[in-house]
Amino acid sequence: MNPKFSIIISLSFILLCSISNAQSAVIDSLKKIISITKVDTARINRYNNLADLYKEIDPDSTLFYAEKAIAASQKKGYNFGLATGYLNEGNASIILGNYPEALKYFKKAQTEFKIALKDNSNQKQIKNGLARSYASSGVVHSEQSDYTSSLQNYEQALKLYQETNDKLSISKILNNIGILYKSQRIYPKALYYLKGAYKIQLAIKEQNAPITLTNIGVIYFELGEYQNAIDYYEKAKKGFAKNNNKRGFALLNNYLGEYYTKQKNPDLALKYYQQSLDLYEGIQNKFGASYALYNIALLLQEEQKYKEALFYANKSLAYAQEIGVLDQTFNTEKLLSELHESLHNPEAALAHYKNYVKARDSINNQETNKRFAAAEMNYEFKKKEALLSEEHKRQIQLVVFSILGGLLLIVLSLVVYNRMQVKRQLTLKKEVAEYEQKALHLQMNPHFVFNCLSSISSFIVQNGTDSALKYLSKFSKLMRLTLEYSKGSLIPIDKEIESLQNYLELEQLRFHDKFEFKIESSENVEFNVGLPPLLIQPFVENAILHGMVPKEGKGKIEVYFDTKQEQLICTITDDGIGLSESKLLKENSVTAHQSMALDITKKRLKIMESITSKSARIEIIELNSEKQKTGTKVTLYLPIQYLS
């Protein structure tokens, strides 16, 4: 089971109630009341009530009545009615699979609810409306796999619902937060929130309790606790039998299909998948239908019924592309490539495989690029804001000095205190911006960045801006390479060599050609071999700083890659002053600090061993020649890993 699909489908419908026969009677009653209602605001509220009731029966009718409410609210200047109309349009857009439009409506609703909060005395009703708009935005973001934005919206909704003590809505938000933690495979937290939601639902006899039971069952299924999973599924099934929540029941049928697939019972699995598909298509939910179709195609592929599987996979892809769900597109393209290959259609298989790779790259890069750009913009804004703040304070100081010249000592003390406060604020703002960026790309080595920036500063002072610009250009190239490839767990060996080449050229420039270097790889090293990013660089840096720099005369560093006995062997050799003398210099230096590179590398190697179940170790020896220390040799023995 693909966690992303199962998680996303369950989120869309937590906030939407099922429609019963009683609600149909309410709709008829409201229509009659509207025809005799004279007060504008009362008529608007009833339009919105109709729109909300119709959303499970006929989303088009929801849009019709919501638009009537919006038009009347704009004419009357009724912010609460306008906000509720936008909220109803957004919920209808979710059901119709138009997620970008839904987000636009929810944003408009939030703006109008906030305006209404300032002028209206009915704070509880407005806060609940605002909370619903945040919660609905969370639903859309979750279906678009933007779990960070989804969690932020749910937390804002939860805070508002707690202020109004709306237990029903609190239980729904707790449910959704639990599912988001499940998407990150943080199962203890997921179970904590879901069971908390179920406890409230049980107390208030809430009809969405079967959905929560379903999601708890899913977590136990993913943990391999199949008996617990089926127990919760059966409880949920009994709950759905008592209400008319077609979406929830469709979702449960899908999970039952996955359960019986796991239990090697394809007939029962196909039965439940088909029931899930029929329910989703009956309510025009293309997202759920796409996933059910995908599961049926997978099952048929397993039974080698490739032509039948192809029909369902093509239909799944069409739905996924229509509503713009990249995760579903990614997996279905891969499945179609495999099916065409099994049917001996190499051209079609290749075309779908290319689409699969394109979707995969988009998924990997989309979120990181967006967040990195946002962090960069935020950093620049804060930096400019801090500079303007400091300039303004200096102008104030000049005015104070000119006016209060006779009170020089007092003014000086105030200025010193003021500058200390400004410096503290600037430092704090800078640290916040830096940590935001570190959170986005942990692959950047802070120690290395600091050294390089210090070198640029040194070049400006000692060698002029031309040298500094040359160094900065190389540094920028290295950083782009680092950001591009360090996000993943492995980096291609040719890119690692390119990165080391750039880094060593930088250090050559920094230390005025204090050393020469050579990077080679054996012909045994295949092009698609990968290794963890930023694993070699700290040892090359140590060779330079602790081997080459203290040495009299020019030194040499060699990096060599080879494979032997299913291991990738990387050797870093230098002819510097050696380990003993370097250690002695550190002990005598007042600026010596404890390097954590070796400890971190050992931890990374242990993690690598646990993942690959193969040996990963490091060996550091001092080279001797005729009782003289002639350098250091570091050898990394890594399990061979290939890039997928």
Higher pLDDT, 421 or 237: 237
> What superfamily does domain 490-642 belong to in CATH?
Histidine kinase-like ATPase, C-terminal domain (3.30.565.10)
CA 96 – CA 144 distance, rounded (Å): 15
CA 290 – CA 5 distance, rounded (Å): 10
Structure tokens, 407: 């009170």
CA 505 – CA 627 distance, rounded (Å): 32
User: What is the domain partition of the chain in residue ranges?
Assistant: 1-203, 490-642
pLDDT at position 173 is: 92
Structure tokens, 117: 């909060």
> Can you tell me the mean pLDDT for 240-269?
89
Between the alpha carbon of residue 254 and those of residues 38, 263, 269, 293, 301, the distances in Å are 48, 14, 9, 10, 17
Candidates 3.30.390.30, 1.25.40.10, 3.40.50.720, 2.60.40.1220; CATH matching 1-203: 1.25.40.10
Between the alpha carbon of residue 460 and those of residues 162, 333, 413, 469, 477, the distances in Å are 56, 53, 34, 9, 19
**Helix 246-262 × helix 209-222 angle, to 10°:** 20
**Helix 226-240 × helix 209-222 angle, to 10°:** 160
Identify whether the C-beta of residue 245 lies closer than 8 Å to the C-beta of residue 18.
yes
555 DSSP β-pair partners: 515
Higher pLDDT, 480 or 388: 480
Q: What is the pLDDT of residues 209-244, one digit of tens each?
A: 898 999 999 999 999 999 999 999 999 998 888 887
Q: What is the pLDDT of residues 199-209, one digit of tens each?
A: 999 899 888 88
Identify whether the C-beta of residue 217 lies closer than 8 Å to the C-beta of residue 255.
yes
Residue 18 has pLDDT above 50, yes or no: no
Give the CA dihedral 100, 104, 105, 108, nearest 10 degrees: 170
Q: Considering the chain, what percentage of its residues have pLDDT values greater than 70?
A: 80
Query: DSSP of 352-365, one letter per residue?
Result: HHHHHHHHHHHHHH
**What Rg do the C-alpha atoms of the chain give, in angstroms?**
32
Q: Which residues contact 13 (CB under 8 A, 6 or more apart)?
A: 139, 211, 245, 247, 248, 251
pLDDT at position 417 is: 82
Mean pLDDT of the chain: 80
Q: What is the pLDDT of residues 58-109, one digit of tens each?
A: 778 888 888 888 998 888 888 889 999 999 988 888 888 888 999 999 999 9
> Can you tell me the mean pLDDT for 518-527?
91
DSSP state of 615: -
pLDDT at position 379 is: 41
Higher pLDDT, 364 or 538: 538
pLDDT at position 10 is: 41
Structure tokens, 385: 């804001």
CA 311 – CA 293 distance, rounded (Å): 9
CA atoms within 13 A on the CB side of 412: 5
pLDDT grade, residue 3 (50/70/90)? very low
Residue 192 has pLDDT above 80, yes or no: yes
